[in-house]
Amino acid sequence: FIAFIYLTRPAWILLYHSSSPPCSTSTDTGIDYNPKQMAIREKVFNTIISCFKRHGAETIDTPVFELKETLTGKYGEDSKLIYDLKDQGGELLSLRYDLTVPFARYLAMNKITNIKRYHIAKVYRRDNPAMTRGRYREFYQCDFDIAGQYDAMIPDAECLKIVYEILHELDLGDFRIKVNDRRILDGMFAVCGVPDDKFRTICSTVDKLDKMSWEDVKKEMVNEKGLSEQAADQIGEYVSMQGGMDLAEHLLQDQKMSQSKQACAGLSDIKLLFSYLQLFQVTDKVVFDLSLARGLDYYTGVIYEAVLTQAGVASVTTEAQNGAPGSTEESVSVGSVAGGGRYDGLVGMFDPKGRKVPCVGVSIGIERIFSIMEQKVSAEKVRTTEVQVMVASAQKNLLEERLKLTAELWNAGIKAEVMYKKNPKLLSQLQHCEESGIPLVAILGEQELKDGVVKLRVVATREEVSHTVDIHTAPHLRTI
């Protein structure tokens, strides 16, 4: 009987998807999630964790709050979004803003020089919530990072491969992964005439190009940041470029960019990165995009961001895949779903002797992915439990036999359920199976007990099969 349940499980496990669409409840402090939403979230988490483990990562955890000084000065203009906790006569504390800075602090405090780790936990930001865009004040981050001194671009390429695998497995729709390098940006700013003390603030403005038009970005640079119009126009020429390895080669020969050693070092690494990405077979979704900035202050090298595009819109043009310099195609972004980069100097900020540990990593935008997945399955039914079989009775006064059989199923590792009534109606038990998506029902009746059998019904097809079992010698049930 138990063997039959195990053997037939692949055939019926996908028979059911559940009922009403997911719906969350917004409170003043956060979001409540119902069982249907949690079932979707658990599936996404399992896919991501499976990918991280496939790439050899181990996991850690860190406190939900950090010393305020630990987080201060690490996030650029976004530092204003950090939640500070009220001083109660002790140390000044803040809720963690991301998982990267706590990870760097963890490495420094524990004197760890190499690790490949993933960390999935909640972070907090004083942001304006936008539920439809997966933007909240409390939300999960899923981070994968490689710390250690390794040859250039090999760990970086693996991080991009991980993003590719996760987005492909989740089947969210068309996507592209944009890459750039902080050294290229700084070199570009320098040759365009941006003063050194304005590099970070201009970088934060360029980072808004995915939300604002170039005209608005330029206006902010000139009117608010005090940049000359000529410098802004030169930046505009570069940030319109997209491509691949050939674009990097083209820029290495560019009259202005070739004057910057920083930019040339970044461009050489981009070329090397694309050569590894070709070996990993992911270049069809990756584009070298000079407009990608990522405003966080701690990035020192390669940066990347994955965005979903609307159905039917090519994620990367054929020319961009082949690396043609300056090739572009208008694609409609529906939001960033992953981002990351190299941050070689962050660990040194927490080490008493300033010892650096090179790091590169990626953060999966899990909340936005949840929002997209919920929209995708809103018209479908989603199962919220994993019960494999319902133990039911066809007549009265069979509670003892039902409980015995249920216990043996649990002992055998089978997910089983029984109604909490002494004499439930058979129709009610069968309806519960249909409503909950339980695929099998084991039916006990007076005749079945006399014959020493259990009637097993497939709920979806109503097909029934009888299996020999002696309920009164239930301890031997798992050997049948």
- Regarding whether 29 and 8 lie in a shared domain, the answer is no
In the numeric block, which tokens belong to residue 312? 């039917």
pLDDT at 320: 37
Residue ending a domain, choose from 324, 359, 377: 377
- Regarding whether 435 and 401 lie in a shared domain, the answer is yes
In the numeric block, which tokens belong to residue 464? 């029934």
Q: How many domains does the chain have?
A: 2
In a domain, 18, yes or no: no
- Regarding whether 340 and 405 lie in a shared domain, the answer is no
For 130, which DSSP code? B
pLDDT at 196: 87
145 annotated as belonging to a binding site for a ligand? yes
- Regarding whether 307 and 210 lie in a shared domain, the answer is yes
Domain that holds residue 136: 25-377
- Asked if residue 300 lies in contact with residue 342, where contact means CB atoms within 8 angstroms, the answer is yes
- Regarding whether 447 and 397 lie in a shared domain, the answer is yes
Higher pLDDT, 19 or 140: 140
- Regarding whether 327 and 410 lie in a shared domain, the answer is no
pLDDT at 133 over 70: no
In the numeric block, which tokens belong to residue 60? 């850690």
- Regarding whether 433 and 289 lie in a shared domain, the answer is no
pLDDT at 126: 83
Higher pLDDT, 455 or 126: 455
pLDDT at 477: 39
In a domain, 395, yes or no: yes
**Mean of all residue pLDDT scores within the chain:** 84
CA atoms of 120 and 1, how far apart (whole Å): 40
CA atoms of 387 and 14, how far apart (whole Å): 12
Higher pLDDT, 342 or 135: 342
pLDDT at 26: 60
Average pLDDT, integer, range 56-82: 85
| Dihedral of alpha carbons 429, 430, 432, 438, sign | positive
* Whole-number percent of the chain with pLDDT over 70: 83
- Regarding whether 272 and 408 lie in a shared domain, the answer is no
Model confidence pLDDT, tens digit, residues 408-444: 999 999 999 999 999 999 999 999 999 999 999 999 9
- Regarding whether 393 and 365 lie in a shared domain, the answer is no
* DSSP β-bridge partners for residue 25: 32
Confidence class of residue 1 from pLDDT cuts 50, 70 and 90?
low
- Regarding whether 70 and 185 lie in a shared domain, the answer is yes
Average pLDDT, integer, range 118-145: 80
Model confidence pLDDT, tens digit, residues 355-367: 999 999 999 988 8
Average pLDDT, integer, range 230-250: 92
pLDDT at 239 over 50: yes
Long-range contacts of 17-25 (CB under 8 A, 24+ apart): 17/377, 17/380, 17/381, 17/382, 17/383, 17/437, 18/381, 18/382, 18/383, 18/384, 18/436, 18/437, 19/381, 19/435, 21/377, 21/378, 21/379, 22/374, 22/377, 22/378, 22/382, 24/131
Choice among 22-31, 184-193, 260-269 with the minimum mean pLDDT: 22-31
62 annotated as belonging to a binding site for a ligand? no
Long-range contacts of 154-157 (CB under 8 A, 24+ apart): 154/276, 155/360, 156/273, 156/301, 156/302, 156/342, 156/360, 157/273, 157/276, 157/277, 157/280
pLDDT at 326: 42
pLDDT at 316 over 50: no
In a domain, 20, yes or no: no
- DSSP H or E segment with residue 31: strand 31-32
pLDDT at 18 over 60: no
pLDDT at 11: 42
6 annotated as belonging to a binding site for a ligand? no
Confidence class of residue 73 from pLDDT cuts 50, 70 and 90?
confident
Model confidence pLDDT, tens digit, residues 191-205: 999 888 888 888 888
- CA distances to 81, 100, 137, 152, 362 from 29, rounded to whole Å, are 15, 24, 8, 43, 28
Residues near 256 by Cβ (< 8 Å), separated by ≥ 6?
191, 192, 234
- Regarding whether 106 and 8 lie in a shared domain, the answer is no
Residue ending a domain, choose from 329, 350, 377: 377
pLDDT at 334: 56
In a domain, 470, yes or no: yes
In the numeric block, which tokens belong to residue 430? 């069968």
Model confidence pLDDT, tens digit, residues 251-298: 999 999 999 999 999 999 999 999 999 999 999 999 999 999 886 778
pLDDT at 24: 62
Choice among 27-31, 282-286, 384-388, 419-423 with the minimum mean pLDDT: 27-31
CATH number at residue 127: 3.30.930.10
136 annotated as belonging to a binding site for a ligand? no
Residue ending a domain, choose from 330, 346, 377: 377
Percent helix, strand and coil across the chain, each to the nearest 5: 45, 20, 35
Confidence class of residue 340 from pLDDT cuts 50, 70 and 90?
very high
Average pLDDT, integer, range 86-108: 88
pLDDT at 14: 39
In a domain, 277, yes or no: yes
294 annotated as belonging to a binding site for a ligand? yes
CATH number at residue 426: 3.40.50.800
In a domain, 17, yes or no: no
Q: Which amino acid is at 122?
A: K
